[in-house]
Structure 1
Amino acid sequence: MPVRGSRERIKAFGEVSRRLGLSNRVYRGIHAIPVEKIVGSVGRAADLLPGFRLKRPDTRYYRIRRAMERGEILPPIIVYKVGDEYYVLDGNHRVAVAKELGREFIDAEVIEFFPSPKIESKALRKKRAEFERITGLKGIDATEPRHYDAFLNYIQDHARQMSASLGREVPIQEAALNWFLCVYTPVVQKIVEKNLEEAFPGKGLADIFAYIMDYKWFQSQKVGYDIGFERALEGFMKEIVGIEQPERPALERRTLGQKVGGLLEEVLPWLKRE
Protein backbone atom coordinates (compact mmCIF):
# COMPACT_ATOMS: atom_id res chain seq x y z
CA MET A 1 0.00 0.00 0.00
CA PRO A 2 1.24 3.51 -0.69
CA VAL A 3 2.73 5.33 2.30
CA ARG A 4 0.79 8.54 2.91
CA GLY A 5 0.18 11.12 5.60
CA SER A 6 3.69 11.78 6.83
CA ARG A 7 3.78 15.17 8.55
CA GLU A 8 7.55 15.41 8.97
CA ARG A 9 9.16 18.14 6.92
CA ILE A 10 11.85 17.21 4.42
CA LYS A 11 15.30 17.72 5.92
CA ALA A 12 17.92 19.86 4.15
CA PHE A 13 21.32 18.21 3.93
CA GLY A 14 23.08 21.58 4.23
CA GLU A 15 21.51 22.21 7.64
CA VAL A 16 22.36 18.71 8.88
CA SER A 17 25.92 18.98 7.54
CA ARG A 18 26.58 22.25 9.35
CA ARG A 19 24.98 21.06 12.60
CA LEU A 20 26.94 17.78 12.69
CA GLY A 21 30.15 19.16 11.18
CA LEU A 22 30.17 16.64 8.33
CA SER A 23 33.40 16.77 6.35
CA ASN A 24 34.65 13.23 5.70
CA ARG A 25 33.01 11.08 3.05
CA VAL A 26 33.31 7.55 1.67
CA TYR A 27 31.85 6.20 -1.58
CA ARG A 28 29.86 3.03 -0.76
CA GLY A 29 28.76 1.91 -4.23
CA ILE A 30 25.28 0.87 -5.38
CA HIS A 31 22.85 -0.65 -2.87
CA ALA A 32 19.12 -1.21 -2.46
CA ILE A 33 18.23 1.23 0.32
CA PRO A 34 14.98 1.46 2.34
CA VAL A 35 12.71 4.12 0.88
CA GLU A 36 11.40 4.98 4.36
CA LYS A 37 14.95 5.98 5.39
CA ILE A 38 15.10 8.69 2.71
CA VAL A 39 14.32 11.78 4.76
CA GLY A 40 15.90 14.73 2.99
CA SER A 41 17.34 16.37 -0.09
CA VAL A 42 20.56 18.07 -1.11
CA GLY A 43 19.59 21.58 -2.14
CA ARG A 44 15.95 20.81 -3.03
CA ALA A 45 14.22 20.42 0.35
CA ALA A 46 12.26 23.63 -0.21
CA ASP A 47 10.67 22.10 -3.33
CA LEU A 48 9.22 19.15 -1.40
CA LEU A 49 6.22 18.73 0.88
CA PRO A 50 6.02 16.35 3.87
CA GLY A 51 5.98 12.74 2.70
CA PHE A 52 8.45 13.65 -0.09
CA ARG A 53 5.62 14.93 -2.29
CA LEU A 54 6.52 17.40 -5.02
CA LYS A 55 5.00 20.86 -4.62
CA ARG A 56 4.46 21.02 -8.36
CA PRO A 57 4.28 17.57 -10.00
CA ASP A 58 5.38 17.92 -13.61
CA THR A 59 5.42 15.86 -16.80
CA ARG A 60 8.63 14.15 -15.70
CA TYR A 61 6.99 13.01 -12.46
CA TYR A 62 4.09 11.33 -14.29
CA ARG A 63 6.44 9.78 -16.87
CA ILE A 64 8.53 8.25 -14.07
CA ARG A 65 5.38 7.05 -12.30
CA ARG A 66 4.15 5.26 -15.41
CA ALA A 67 7.57 3.65 -15.90
CA MET A 68 7.66 2.40 -12.29
CA GLU A 69 4.12 1.07 -12.52
CA ARG A 70 5.12 -0.87 -15.65
CA GLY A 71 8.10 -2.33 -13.78
CA GLU A 72 10.76 -0.63 -15.90
CA ILE A 73 14.31 -0.50 -14.49
CA LEU A 74 15.37 3.08 -13.84
CA PRO A 75 18.91 4.38 -13.14
CA PRO A 76 19.97 4.39 -9.47
CA ILE A 77 19.38 7.56 -7.55
CA ILE A 78 22.37 9.19 -5.83
CA VAL A 79 22.19 9.81 -2.09
CA TYR A 80 24.25 11.09 0.81
CA LYS A 81 24.07 8.80 3.85
CA VAL A 82 24.27 10.21 7.40
CA GLY A 83 23.84 7.60 10.11
CA ASP A 84 20.90 5.51 8.96
CA GLU A 85 19.26 8.33 7.00
CA TYR A 86 19.58 9.27 3.32
CA TYR A 87 19.49 12.62 1.49
CA VAL A 88 18.80 12.74 -2.25
CA LEU A 89 21.41 14.38 -4.45
CA ASP A 90 19.94 13.15 -7.73
CA GLY A 91 16.55 11.46 -8.08
CA ASN A 92 13.97 13.47 -6.11
CA HIS A 93 11.27 12.63 -8.68
CA ARG A 94 12.01 8.89 -8.47
CA VAL A 95 11.89 8.98 -4.67
CA ALA A 96 8.61 10.93 -4.68
CA VAL A 97 7.07 8.28 -6.94
CA ALA A 98 8.55 5.37 -4.95
CA LYS A 99 7.08 6.75 -1.72
CA GLU A 100 3.72 7.41 -3.39
CA LEU A 101 3.60 3.82 -4.69
CA GLY A 102 4.68 2.38 -1.35
CA ARG A 103 7.93 0.84 -2.61
CA GLU A 104 10.13 -0.64 0.13
CA PHE A 105 13.52 -0.33 -1.57
CA ILE A 106 15.17 1.68 -4.34
CA ASP A 107 18.60 1.30 -5.95
CA ALA A 108 21.01 4.08 -5.03
CA GLU A 109 24.65 5.10 -5.32
CA VAL A 110 25.62 5.88 -1.75
CA ILE A 111 28.14 8.44 -0.51
CA GLU A 112 28.41 8.28 3.27
CA PHE A 113 29.33 11.36 5.32
CA PHE A 114 30.94 11.48 8.77
CA PRO A 115 31.61 14.29 11.25
CA SER A 116 35.13 15.63 11.46
CA PRO A 117 36.93 14.18 14.48
CA LYS A 118 38.21 17.65 15.33
CA ILE A 119 36.17 20.18 17.27
CA GLU A 120 36.08 23.52 15.51
CA SER A 121 37.92 26.33 17.25
CA LYS A 122 36.29 29.69 17.91
CA ALA A 123 38.85 31.24 15.54
CA LEU A 124 37.77 28.94 12.71
CA ARG A 125 34.06 29.65 13.25
CA LYS A 126 34.76 33.38 13.35
CA LYS A 127 36.81 33.31 10.13
CA ARG A 128 34.16 31.26 8.31
CA ALA A 129 31.34 33.56 9.43
CA GLU A 130 33.30 36.65 8.35
CA PHE A 131 34.10 35.10 4.96
CA GLU A 132 30.45 34.14 4.39
CA ARG A 133 29.23 37.62 5.41
CA ILE A 134 31.60 39.42 3.04
CA THR A 135 31.34 37.10 0.04
CA GLY A 136 27.84 35.64 0.34
CA LEU A 137 29.31 32.16 -0.26
CA LYS A 138 28.26 29.47 2.20
CA GLY A 139 29.42 25.88 2.57
CA ILE A 140 33.11 26.34 1.67
CA ASP A 141 34.26 24.42 4.73
CA ALA A 142 37.96 24.62 5.57
CA THR A 143 39.56 23.29 8.76
CA GLU A 144 42.25 25.99 9.04
CA PRO A 145 41.31 29.65 9.75
CA ARG A 146 44.11 31.00 7.52
CA HIS A 147 42.50 29.48 4.45
CA TYR A 148 39.58 31.89 4.65
CA ASP A 149 42.00 34.83 4.58
CA ALA A 150 43.61 33.32 1.47
CA PHE A 151 40.21 32.77 -0.21
CA LEU A 152 39.23 36.38 0.47
CA ASN A 153 42.52 37.61 -1.02
CA TYR A 154 41.90 35.49 -4.13
CA ILE A 155 38.40 36.95 -4.49
CA GLN A 156 39.60 40.54 -4.00
CA ASP A 157 42.24 40.02 -6.72
CA HIS A 158 39.54 38.49 -8.91
CA ALA A 159 37.33 41.53 -8.32
CA ARG A 160 40.13 43.88 -9.41
CA GLN A 161 40.71 41.85 -12.57
CA MET A 162 36.98 41.82 -13.38
CA SER A 163 36.73 45.58 -12.78
CA ALA A 164 39.64 46.27 -15.14
CA SER A 165 38.17 43.97 -17.79
CA LEU A 166 34.59 45.27 -17.55
CA GLY A 167 35.45 48.94 -17.04
CA ARG A 168 33.31 49.27 -13.92
CA GLU A 169 33.54 48.61 -10.20
CA VAL A 170 32.59 45.00 -9.51
CA PRO A 171 30.98 44.38 -6.07
CA ILE A 172 32.74 41.80 -3.93
CA GLN A 173 29.80 39.38 -3.87
CA GLU A 174 29.50 39.48 -7.67
CA ALA A 175 33.22 38.74 -7.93
CA ALA A 176 32.89 35.99 -5.31
CA LEU A 177 30.20 34.22 -7.33
CA ASN A 178 32.27 34.46 -10.51
CA TRP A 179 35.39 33.22 -8.67
CA PHE A 180 33.47 30.29 -7.22
CA LEU A 181 32.10 29.21 -10.61
CA CYS A 182 35.16 29.91 -12.75
CA VAL A 183 38.08 29.20 -10.38
CA TYR A 184 37.12 27.28 -7.27
CA THR A 185 34.68 24.74 -8.76
CA PRO A 186 36.95 23.60 -11.65
CA VAL A 187 39.85 23.10 -9.22
CA VAL A 188 37.66 21.13 -6.81
CA GLN A 189 36.48 19.00 -9.71
CA LYS A 190 40.11 18.13 -10.47
CA ILE A 191 40.71 17.30 -6.80
CA VAL A 192 37.82 14.84 -6.86
CA GLU A 193 38.90 13.37 -10.21
CA LYS A 194 42.44 12.77 -8.94
CA ASN A 195 41.20 11.23 -5.68
CA LEU A 196 43.27 13.64 -3.58
CA GLU A 197 40.84 13.51 -0.65
CA GLU A 198 42.29 10.15 0.40
CA ALA A 199 45.76 11.70 0.73
CA PHE A 200 44.51 14.26 3.29
CA PRO A 201 42.31 12.49 5.88
CA GLY A 202 40.34 14.88 8.02
CA LYS A 203 40.69 17.69 5.46
CA GLY A 204 37.98 19.01 3.20
CA LEU A 205 38.00 19.98 -0.46
CA ALA A 206 38.50 23.64 0.52
CA ASP A 207 41.68 22.76 2.44
CA ILE A 208 43.15 20.82 -0.48
CA PHE A 209 42.25 23.67 -2.82
CA ALA A 210 44.18 26.04 -0.53
CA TYR A 211 47.22 23.72 -0.42
CA ILE A 212 47.37 23.55 -4.22
CA MET A 213 47.04 27.31 -4.58
CA ASP A 214 49.80 27.82 -1.99
CA TYR A 215 52.04 25.50 -4.02
CA LYS A 216 51.12 27.31 -7.26
CA TRP A 217 52.01 30.70 -5.76
CA PHE A 218 55.33 29.44 -4.35
CA GLN A 219 56.44 27.80 -7.59
CA SER A 220 55.34 30.82 -9.65
CA GLN A 221 57.46 33.08 -7.43
CA LYS A 222 60.46 30.80 -7.97
CA VAL A 223 60.33 30.92 -11.76
CA GLY A 224 59.05 34.49 -12.09
CA TYR A 225 55.78 33.81 -13.89
CA ASP A 226 52.42 32.14 -13.29
CA ILE A 227 52.93 28.41 -13.89
CA GLY A 228 49.20 27.77 -14.36
CA PHE A 229 46.93 25.38 -12.54
CA GLU A 230 47.61 22.22 -14.55
CA ARG A 231 51.36 22.42 -14.00
CA ALA A 232 50.82 23.29 -10.33
CA LEU A 233 48.52 20.29 -9.84
CA GLU A 234 51.00 17.94 -11.50
CA GLY A 235 53.86 19.25 -9.35
CA PHE A 236 51.77 19.18 -6.19
CA MET A 237 50.81 15.56 -6.74
CA LYS A 238 54.39 14.47 -7.42
CA GLU A 239 56.30 16.58 -4.88
CA ILE A 240 53.82 16.98 -2.02
CA VAL A 241 51.54 13.96 -2.26
CA GLY A 242 54.08 11.62 -3.86
CA ILE A 243 51.71 10.09 -6.41
CA GLU A 244 51.26 10.23 -10.15
CA GLN A 245 47.78 10.49 -11.61
CA PRO A 246 45.35 8.44 -9.47
CA GLU A 247 41.74 8.44 -10.59
CA ARG A 248 38.39 7.31 -9.27
CA PRO A 249 37.00 3.94 -10.38
CA ALA A 250 35.03 4.24 -13.61
CA LEU A 251 31.66 4.00 -11.87
CA GLU A 252 32.45 6.83 -9.47
CA ARG A 253 33.89 9.01 -12.24
CA ARG A 254 30.57 8.63 -14.01
CA THR A 255 28.79 10.46 -11.20
CA LEU A 256 31.37 13.20 -10.73
CA GLY A 257 29.12 15.77 -12.36
CA GLN A 258 26.41 14.92 -9.87
CA LYS A 259 28.80 15.40 -6.94
CA VAL A 260 30.03 18.76 -8.18
CA GLY A 261 26.39 19.67 -8.73
CA GLY A 262 25.83 18.90 -5.07
CA LEU A 263 28.66 21.23 -4.13
CA LEU A 264 27.03 23.98 -6.16
CA GLU A 265 23.72 23.48 -4.38
CA GLU A 266 25.31 23.54 -0.94
CA VAL A 267 27.38 26.67 -1.56
CA LEU A 268 24.88 28.52 -3.74
CA PRO A 269 21.44 27.40 -2.49
CA TRP A 270 19.65 29.80 -4.82
CA LEU A 271 20.86 27.86 -7.86
CA LYS A 272 18.20 25.38 -9.04
CA ARG A 273 18.88 22.23 -11.04
CA GLU A 274 16.35 20.80 -13.45
Structure 2
Amino acid sequence: MRRDTGFPVADAENDFLRARRRQVMSRLAAWLRREPDDVNIMLPFHEVVDALGMVSEKRLGLQSIRLDSIVGSVDRTRDFDRRFRPTSGRVRERWQRLALATRRGESVPPIEVYRIGELHFIIDGHHRVSVAHALGLSVIDAYVTQVITRVNAAGIRYRGDLIVKDYRRLFLDRVPLTGEARAAVLLSDPWDYAELGEHVEAWGFRLMQDTGTFLDRTEVARRWYADEYKPVVAMLRQADMIGDRTETEAYMWVAAERYRLMRTHRWDADVINTVREETRPHGRRG
Protein backbone atom coordinates (compact mmCIF):
# COMPACT_ATOMS: atom_id res chain seq x y z
CA MET A 1 0.00 0.00 0.00
CA ARG A 2 1.31 3.44 -0.91
CA ARG A 3 1.67 5.85 2.00
CA ASP A 4 2.43 9.46 1.15
CA THR A 5 4.39 11.73 3.45
CA GLY A 6 2.88 14.92 2.05
CA PHE A 7 6.28 16.00 0.75
CA PRO A 8 6.27 15.48 -3.06
CA VAL A 9 10.06 15.08 -3.40
CA ALA A 10 10.25 12.41 -0.72
CA ASP A 11 7.14 10.68 -2.05
CA ALA A 12 8.59 10.57 -5.57
CA GLU A 13 11.76 8.98 -4.19
CA ASN A 14 9.67 6.43 -2.30
CA ASP A 15 7.65 5.69 -5.45
CA PHE A 16 10.83 4.69 -7.27
CA LEU A 17 12.18 2.57 -4.41
CA ARG A 18 8.83 0.80 -4.12
CA ALA A 19 8.74 0.07 -7.86
CA ARG A 20 12.30 -1.32 -7.77
CA ARG A 21 11.47 -3.48 -4.77
CA ARG A 22 8.42 -4.92 -6.52
CA GLN A 23 10.48 -5.70 -9.62
CA VAL A 24 13.08 -7.59 -7.60
CA MET A 25 10.41 -9.53 -5.67
CA SER A 26 8.60 -10.40 -8.90
CA ARG A 27 11.80 -11.73 -10.46
CA LEU A 28 12.53 -13.80 -7.34
CA ALA A 29 8.99 -15.20 -7.28
CA ALA A 30 9.24 -16.20 -10.95
CA TRP A 31 12.53 -18.00 -10.24
CA LEU A 32 11.04 -19.86 -7.27
CA ARG A 33 8.03 -20.94 -9.36
CA ARG A 34 10.36 -22.14 -12.14
CA GLU A 35 8.54 -19.90 -14.63
CA PRO A 36 9.95 -19.31 -18.12
CA ASP A 37 12.66 -16.66 -18.42
CA ASP A 38 10.44 -14.46 -20.57
CA VAL A 39 7.55 -14.20 -18.09
CA ASN A 40 8.69 -10.76 -16.85
CA ILE A 41 10.25 -9.51 -20.10
CA MET A 42 8.62 -6.89 -22.29
CA LEU A 43 7.74 -8.00 -25.81
CA PRO A 44 10.17 -6.54 -28.39
CA PHE A 45 8.14 -4.73 -31.05
CA HIS A 46 10.33 -5.70 -34.00
CA GLU A 47 10.29 -9.39 -33.06
CA VAL A 48 6.49 -9.28 -32.86
CA VAL A 49 6.20 -7.60 -36.27
CA ASP A 50 8.64 -10.08 -37.81
CA ALA A 51 6.61 -12.99 -36.43
CA LEU A 52 3.23 -11.61 -37.54
CA GLY A 53 4.29 -10.10 -40.88
CA MET A 54 4.04 -6.37 -41.57
CA VAL A 55 1.34 -5.17 -43.98
CA SER A 56 0.82 -1.44 -43.37
CA GLU A 57 0.47 1.23 -40.71
CA LYS A 58 -1.93 4.10 -40.07
CA ARG A 59 -1.77 7.06 -37.68
CA LEU A 60 -4.85 7.22 -35.43
CA GLY A 61 -3.92 10.34 -33.45
CA LEU A 62 -4.35 11.07 -29.74
CA GLN A 63 -6.28 8.48 -27.72
CA SER A 64 -6.67 7.34 -24.14
CA ILE A 65 -5.40 3.75 -23.79
CA ARG A 66 -5.34 1.28 -20.92
CA LEU A 67 -1.99 0.88 -19.21
CA ASP A 68 -2.41 -2.90 -19.03
CA SER A 69 -2.61 -3.04 -22.84
CA ILE A 70 0.99 -1.80 -23.10
CA VAL A 71 3.07 -4.97 -23.27
CA GLY A 72 6.22 -4.08 -25.17
CA SER A 73 8.71 -1.57 -26.46
CA VAL A 74 10.48 -0.57 -29.64
CA ASP A 75 13.91 -0.22 -28.03
CA ARG A 76 13.87 -0.16 -24.20
CA THR A 77 13.14 -3.75 -23.20
CA ARG A 78 16.06 -3.92 -20.74
CA ASP A 79 15.30 -0.87 -18.58
CA PHE A 80 11.82 -2.01 -17.48
CA ASP A 81 10.11 -5.35 -16.90
CA ARG A 82 6.77 -6.53 -18.32
CA ARG A 83 4.85 -4.36 -15.82
CA PHE A 84 7.15 -1.41 -16.49
CA ARG A 85 8.92 -1.58 -13.14
CA PRO A 86 12.54 -0.32 -13.35
CA THR A 87 15.07 -3.14 -13.62
CA SER A 88 17.97 -1.06 -12.23
CA GLY A 89 18.82 2.31 -10.71
CA ARG A 90 19.96 3.59 -14.09
CA VAL A 91 16.64 5.33 -14.81
CA ARG A 92 16.13 6.70 -11.31
CA GLU A 93 16.86 10.41 -11.86
CA ARG A 94 14.50 10.88 -14.80
CA TRP A 95 11.89 8.56 -13.26
CA GLN A 96 11.71 10.56 -10.01
CA ARG A 97 11.58 13.84 -11.92
CA LEU A 98 8.49 12.61 -13.81
CA ALA A 99 6.92 11.21 -10.64
CA LEU A 100 7.40 14.56 -8.94
CA ALA A 101 5.85 16.43 -11.88
CA THR A 102 2.87 14.06 -11.87
CA ARG A 103 2.37 14.44 -8.13
CA ARG A 104 2.42 18.22 -8.47
CA GLY A 105 -0.22 18.07 -11.17
CA GLU A 106 2.08 19.39 -13.87
CA SER A 107 1.32 18.67 -17.52
CA VAL A 108 3.03 15.53 -18.85
CA PRO A 109 3.15 15.01 -22.64
CA PRO A 110 1.29 12.02 -24.16
CA ILE A 111 3.35 8.94 -24.92
CA GLU A 112 3.72 7.46 -28.42
CA VAL A 113 2.81 3.85 -29.19
CA TYR A 114 2.31 1.32 -31.94
CA ARG A 115 -0.90 -0.71 -31.78
CA ILE A 116 -1.02 -4.33 -33.02
CA GLY A 117 -4.43 -5.85 -32.46
CA GLU A 118 -5.25 -4.86 -28.87
CA LEU A 119 -1.61 -4.66 -27.78
CA HIS A 120 0.49 -1.48 -27.52
CA PHE A 121 4.25 -1.02 -27.85
CA ILE A 122 6.00 2.12 -26.65
CA ILE A 123 7.91 4.30 -29.07
CA ASP A 124 8.45 7.13 -26.60
CA GLY A 125 7.34 7.44 -22.96
CA HIS A 126 8.67 4.43 -21.05
CA HIS A 127 9.33 6.43 -17.87
CA ARG A 128 5.86 8.03 -18.03
CA VAL A 129 4.22 4.61 -18.29
CA SER A 130 6.33 3.27 -15.42
CA VAL A 131 5.39 6.21 -13.19
CA ALA A 132 1.71 5.88 -14.12
CA HIS A 133 1.77 2.20 -13.10
CA ALA A 134 3.51 3.06 -9.82
CA LEU A 135 0.93 5.73 -8.99
CA GLY A 136 -1.95 3.32 -9.60
CA LEU A 137 -3.34 4.91 -12.77
CA SER A 138 -5.29 2.78 -15.26
CA VAL A 139 -5.19 4.86 -18.47
CA ILE A 140 -2.76 7.18 -20.21
CA ASP A 141 -2.93 9.53 -23.20
CA ALA A 142 -1.03 8.32 -26.26
CA TYR A 143 -0.44 9.14 -29.91
CA VAL A 144 -1.32 5.85 -31.58
CA THR A 145 -0.07 4.37 -34.84
CA GLN A 146 -1.92 1.21 -35.84
CA VAL A 147 0.15 -1.56 -37.42
CA ILE A 148 -1.66 -4.08 -39.63
CA THR A 149 -0.08 -7.54 -39.73
CA ARG A 150 -0.71 -10.66 -41.80
CA VAL A 151 -1.28 -12.83 -38.72
CA ASN A 152 -3.35 -11.42 -35.87
CA ALA A 153 -1.83 -10.84 -32.45
CA ALA A 154 -4.45 -12.79 -30.48
CA GLY A 155 -2.93 -15.20 -27.99
CA ILE A 156 0.41 -13.45 -27.60
CA ARG A 157 1.36 -13.12 -23.93
CA TYR A 158 5.05 -13.92 -23.78
CA ARG A 159 8.05 -13.90 -26.09
CA GLY A 160 7.79 -17.67 -26.55
CA ASP A 161 4.35 -17.25 -28.12
CA LEU A 162 6.00 -15.56 -31.11
CA ILE A 163 7.39 -18.92 -32.27
CA VAL A 164 3.89 -20.19 -33.04
CA LYS A 165 2.97 -16.96 -34.82
CA ASP A 166 6.17 -16.99 -36.88
CA TYR A 167 5.67 -20.55 -38.12
CA ARG A 168 2.01 -19.84 -38.83
CA ARG A 169 3.00 -16.80 -40.90
CA LEU A 170 5.45 -18.92 -42.92
CA PHE A 171 2.73 -21.54 -43.41
CA LEU A 172 0.32 -18.89 -44.71
CA ASP A 173 2.98 -17.74 -47.18
CA ARG A 174 2.96 -21.28 -48.60
CA VAL A 175 -0.79 -21.88 -48.16
CA PRO A 176 -2.49 -18.45 -48.46
CA LEU A 177 -5.81 -19.23 -46.81
CA THR A 178 -8.32 -16.43 -46.37
CA GLY A 179 -11.44 -15.66 -44.34
CA GLU A 180 -13.06 -18.62 -42.63
CA ALA A 181 -10.31 -21.00 -43.73
CA ARG A 182 -7.56 -18.82 -42.29
CA ALA A 183 -9.29 -18.73 -38.90
CA ALA A 184 -10.17 -22.45 -38.85
CA VAL A 185 -6.75 -24.01 -39.54
CA LEU A 186 -4.96 -23.96 -36.18
CA LEU A 187 -2.16 -26.03 -34.64
CA SER A 188 -0.73 -26.01 -31.11
CA ASP A 189 2.80 -27.12 -32.00
CA PRO A 190 4.52 -24.54 -34.25
CA TRP A 191 6.61 -27.25 -35.96
CA ASP A 192 3.44 -28.88 -37.25
CA TYR A 193 2.78 -25.91 -39.55
CA ALA A 194 5.77 -26.90 -41.69
CA GLU A 195 4.46 -30.46 -41.98
CA LEU A 196 0.98 -29.24 -42.87
CA GLY A 197 2.42 -26.91 -45.51
CA GLU A 198 4.19 -29.82 -47.18
CA HIS A 199 1.00 -31.88 -46.98
CA VAL A 200 -1.09 -29.21 -48.72
CA GLU A 201 1.54 -28.66 -51.41
CA ALA A 202 1.65 -32.40 -52.10
CA TRP A 203 -2.16 -32.47 -52.26
CA GLY A 204 -2.10 -29.59 -54.74
CA PHE A 205 0.51 -31.35 -56.89
CA ARG A 206 -1.63 -34.48 -57.10
CA LEU A 207 -4.66 -32.35 -58.00
CA MET A 208 -2.77 -30.66 -60.83
CA GLN A 209 -1.64 -34.03 -62.16
CA ASP A 210 -5.20 -35.35 -62.07
CA THR A 211 -6.71 -32.30 -63.79
CA GLY A 212 -3.81 -31.49 -66.10
CA THR A 213 -4.03 -27.81 -65.19
CA PHE A 214 -1.73 -25.44 -63.33
CA LEU A 215 -3.08 -23.94 -60.09
CA ASP A 216 -1.39 -21.13 -58.18
CA ARG A 217 -0.93 -21.26 -54.40
CA THR A 218 -4.08 -19.30 -53.67
CA GLU A 219 -6.26 -21.65 -55.72
CA VAL A 220 -4.61 -24.74 -54.23
CA ALA A 221 -5.26 -23.38 -50.73
CA ARG A 222 -8.88 -22.63 -51.58
CA ARG A 223 -9.50 -26.04 -53.15
CA TRP A 224 -7.72 -27.92 -50.38
CA TYR A 225 -9.81 -26.27 -47.67
CA ALA A 226 -13.15 -26.64 -49.51
CA ASP A 227 -12.69 -30.07 -51.14
CA GLU A 228 -10.41 -31.84 -48.66
CA TYR A 229 -10.18 -30.25 -45.24
CA LYS A 230 -13.81 -29.33 -44.51
CA PRO A 231 -15.35 -32.66 -45.62
CA VAL A 232 -12.77 -34.68 -43.69
CA VAL A 233 -13.19 -32.62 -40.52
CA ALA A 234 -16.97 -33.07 -40.83
CA MET A 235 -16.51 -36.86 -41.03
CA LEU A 236 -14.15 -36.83 -38.05
CA ARG A 237 -16.60 -34.80 -36.01
CA GLN A 238 -19.43 -37.16 -36.90
CA ALA A 239 -17.25 -40.16 -35.97
CA ASP A 240 -16.26 -38.49 -32.66
CA MET A 241 -12.57 -38.58 -33.58
CA ILE A 242 -11.55 -34.98 -32.77
CA GLY A 243 -10.87 -35.62 -29.09
CA ASP A 244 -8.78 -33.02 -27.27
CA ARG A 245 -6.95 -31.95 -30.43
CA THR A 246 -7.74 -28.99 -32.60
CA GLU A 247 -9.66 -29.94 -35.74
CA THR A 248 -6.50 -29.39 -37.78
CA GLU A 249 -4.47 -31.66 -35.52
CA ALA A 250 -7.14 -34.35 -35.83
CA TYR A 251 -7.06 -33.97 -39.62
CA MET A 252 -3.26 -34.34 -39.74
CA TRP A 253 -3.30 -37.35 -37.42
CA VAL A 254 -5.94 -39.27 -39.35
CA ALA A 255 -4.37 -38.37 -42.72
CA ALA A 256 -1.05 -39.82 -41.57
CA GLU A 257 -2.70 -42.94 -40.14
CA ARG A 258 -4.78 -43.43 -43.28
CA TYR A 259 -1.70 -43.55 -45.49
CA ARG A 260 0.28 -45.69 -43.01
CA LEU A 261 -2.51 -48.28 -42.77
CA MET A 262 -4.04 -48.22 -46.24
CA ARG A 263 -1.56 -46.48 -48.59
CA THR A 264 -4.35 -44.38 -50.05
CA HIS A 265 -5.20 -40.72 -50.46
CA ARG A 266 -8.95 -41.25 -50.80
CA TRP A 267 -11.50 -40.36 -48.15
CA ASP A 268 -14.76 -42.13 -47.33
CA ALA A 269 -16.58 -43.68 -44.36
CA ASP A 270 -14.67 -46.97 -44.74
CA VAL A 271 -11.35 -45.17 -44.44
CA ILE A 272 -12.47 -43.33 -41.29
CA ASN A 273 -13.78 -46.53 -39.72
CA THR A 274 -10.60 -48.43 -40.53
CA VAL A 275 -8.41 -45.77 -38.96
CA ARG A 276 -10.60 -45.62 -35.89
CA GLU A 277 -10.62 -49.40 -35.38
CA GLU A 278 -6.92 -49.90 -36.11
CA THR A 279 -5.74 -47.13 -33.78
CA ARG A 280 -8.15 -47.74 -30.89
CA PRO A 281 -5.84 -50.18 -29.02
CA HIS A 282 -3.14 -47.49 -28.99
CA GLY A 283 -5.14 -45.17 -26.77
CA ARG A 284 -6.72 -42.71 -29.14
CA ARG A 285 -6.97 -39.25 -27.52
CA GLY A 286 -10.53 -38.09 -26.92
Give TM class, smaller chain: 0.3 to 0.5
- The structure that has the greater radius of gyration is 2
TM-score (norm 2): 0.39
Ranked by relative contact order (alpha carbons within 8 Å, sequence separation 6 or more), the top structure is: 1
